[in-house]
Structure 1
Amino acid sequence: MARFVRHYLLSLQFFTRIPVTGRLADWVGFSPAMLRASAAHLPGVGVLVGGVVALFTWLLLALLPASPFAPLVAAVLGTVLSVLITGAFHEDGLADVADGLGGTQSRERALEIMKDSRVGAFGAIAVVLALLAKVGLLALLGSLHGAVLCVALFAGHVVSRFWPLLTIRLLPHVGDAAGSKSKPLADQISLGSLWAAVFWCFGALALVLAAQAAMVLVANFPAVQGLVLWLGAGVLASGLAWLGMLRWFARRLQGFTGDCLGATQQVCELAFYLGLALAWGAATRGGLA
């Protein structure tokens, strides 16, 4: 259990701005092997980040005046909070990937561009569009029901952090090994770590279903069966987005870099929200919602 906690805290330290300092940091320790093991807890980081953002969003919806714009305000401020917690870690990866793969057809030149800390036109456009899409989808889900928005935020942050681990498992790392701080993390992930990440995801989704079952009296909140289908649609859409990213990286780079992992998380999170929205729309047209 102590090793589990240490690896989880190291994952928090690496992927968020949550302070793990002083005596706590000394107790956690650090080594490349520990950083590799901490990858299993990336969805667990999503549990904390998504839980905090979902709780914050729920409080906002409860305190804001009743208005059609309330879900939009909550979506914007919730997104701001998520960026503050993570330090825009994944958004930075998305920007670098967009600059590298959007700016050239050359593999070597793309890898060189992705190492540059400056953000170019493709990167800026990609981040702006991703944030607009995220806020728009979340506001749409929030207009259906505040609880749907909170569920989407929590589950989306967890599920989207699982797919980069599959990328690590299936593709070689092709970044600058000497200069990449993510290189130990990007080494071949073990099957045990991958299964631990799966359990994080299943645990989070089971928690959502259990919480919904305890709130059956909430007006207009979907039945458990419906929620299972909507979550399944979100996971499916997220997985399809991951498959597209995987094929793109394999074709263009013959592998992945740390930036590719961040870009994958962002795209898969957006796809999860889109899957939920499309499933709700299909259920509504079919008379199931």
Structure 2
Amino acid sequence: MTEQLNTQTISSLKDKISTQLNLFYLALSFFTRIPVPKKMHYSVTLLNKANRYFSLVGIVIGLLLVVSYVGFNTFLPSNIAIILTMVLSLLLTGAFHEDGLADMADGIGGAFSIEKKLAIMKDSRIGTYGSVTLIMALLLKFTLLVELAALDSNHLLLAFILAASLSRAIAGSLISAMPYVTDEAQSKSKPLAQAQSTQELIILLFIGCVPLLWYSSEIAFSILLLLLVFRWLFKKWLMAKIGGFTGDCLGATQQIAELLIYLTLVAYLSADSFVGAAA
């Protein structure tokens, strides 16, 4: 009897692990071009549950960027290593979030009515607003990463993981905070997670915040405060402009949050370097 119960317990545990791995693979396949097992199961319900692992996917991406930067920087100057690492990041994700940022800029910047804004976002072509926004975002990211490398290369490596994870947590958290306004049947992108339970939100945010443990309480608090203020303001702005969120808006949220994290780290490290030099 005891052996039977143990067998059932082990079987149940394997099923639970298999279910969670499937959700993780689903999140990984949604956000990246990284191959996943062919036996992965997909459904809209599973995708909604998989959003709990969006920030975990960010940690995986961040670790891959760390390894790539260290490899490139072994043979090349840091600025070239950073450019190549950014290229790898775009290849890993298929420029998924960058595309969202550009499409959102085109849609909201190029029309007045909500219907027209959404129609422009669905257009695969990129316009002036999208081009300018994307170019400036990539230039700012490169500049901030170069500055981080010059100030402290260890902080650059940690920043890759923190920014990739926490920015996706902030973006994913909007799923439960706003209505989804894009007609999925007409959307040019893959189906998007449109529902989020409290449990999934907690897991998403917890994983996203784990890399903050590497930082001082002052830096961690400043980053969280800045991101919460940004999330609140961006949410109000999106509600006023289109009455909710689209997949492109989540991509834009991730990109802006990532830049804010890098910006905060550069500000703190620059201030520390200035104080140290003055002393």
Pairing 1:1-289 to 2, within 5 Å after superposition: 1-20=17-36, 24-26=37-39, 28-64=40-76, 70-180=77-187, 181-185=189-193, 187-206=194-213, 209=214, 225=216, 228-287=217-276
State the identity as a percent.
Answer: 35
Query: 1:146 Cα deviation (Å)?
Result: 1.2
Q: Which amino acid in 2 is paired with 1:77?
A: L
- Supply the distance in 1 between the matched residues of 2:190 and 2:234 (Cα, whole angstroms): 19
Query: Which ranges in structure 1 are unaligned for 5 or more consecutive residues?
Result: 65-69, 210-223
Query: 1:109 Cα deviation (Å)?
Result: 1.1
- Supply the distance in 2 between the matched residues of 1:44 and 1:18 (Cα, whole angstroms): 14
| Contact 1:17/1:86 (8 A) holds in 2 | yes
Query: Which ranges in structure 2 are unaligned for 5 or more consecutive residues?
Result: 1-16
- Supply the distance in 2 between the matched residues of 1:243 and 1:286 (Cα, whole angstroms): 33
Query: 1:30 Cα deviation (Å)?
Result: 0.8
TM-score after normalising by structure 2: 0.87
- Supply the distance in 2 between the matched residues of 1:273 and 1:122 (Cα, whole angstroms): 23
- Supply the distance in 2 between the matched residues of 1:62 and 1:112 (Cα, whole angstroms): 46
- Supply the distance in 2 between the matched residues of 1:154 and 1:53 (Cα, whole angstroms): 8
| Contact 1:95/1:124 (8 A) holds in 2 | yes
Query: 1:287 Cα deviation (Å)?
Result: 4.5
Q: Which amino acid in 1 is paired with 2:28?
A: L
Summarize deviations over 1:247-272 as a string: whole Å, max 9, x none. Answer: 21111011011110001100110111
- Supply the distance in 1 between the matched residues of 2:94 and 2:242 (Cα, whole angstroms): 26
- Aligned-partner SS, 2:156: helix
- Supply the distance in 1 between the matched residues of 2:266 and 2:259 (Cα, whole angstroms): 11
1:218 aligned partner? none
- Supply the distance in 1 between the matched residues of 2:272 and 2:223 (Cα, whole angstroms): 14
CA pair 147-43 structure 1, distance change in 2 beyond 3 A: same
CA radius of gyration, larger in = 2
1:221 aligned partner? none
Query: 1:184 Cα deviation (Å)?
Result: 4.8
- Aligned-partner SS, 2:124: coil
Aligned residues: 261
| Contact 1:58/1:147 (8 A) holds in 2 | no
Summarize deviations over 1:37-78 as a string: whole Å, max 9, x none. Answer: 1111100110010110012112222333xxxxx332122111
- Supply the distance in 1 between the matched residues of 2:210 and 2:20 (Cα, whole angstroms): 16
Query: 1:200 Cα deviation (Å)?
Result: 1.2
TM-score after normalising by structure 1: 0.84
Summarize deviations over 1:181-202 as a string: whole Å, max 9, x none. Answer: 55550x2311110111122123
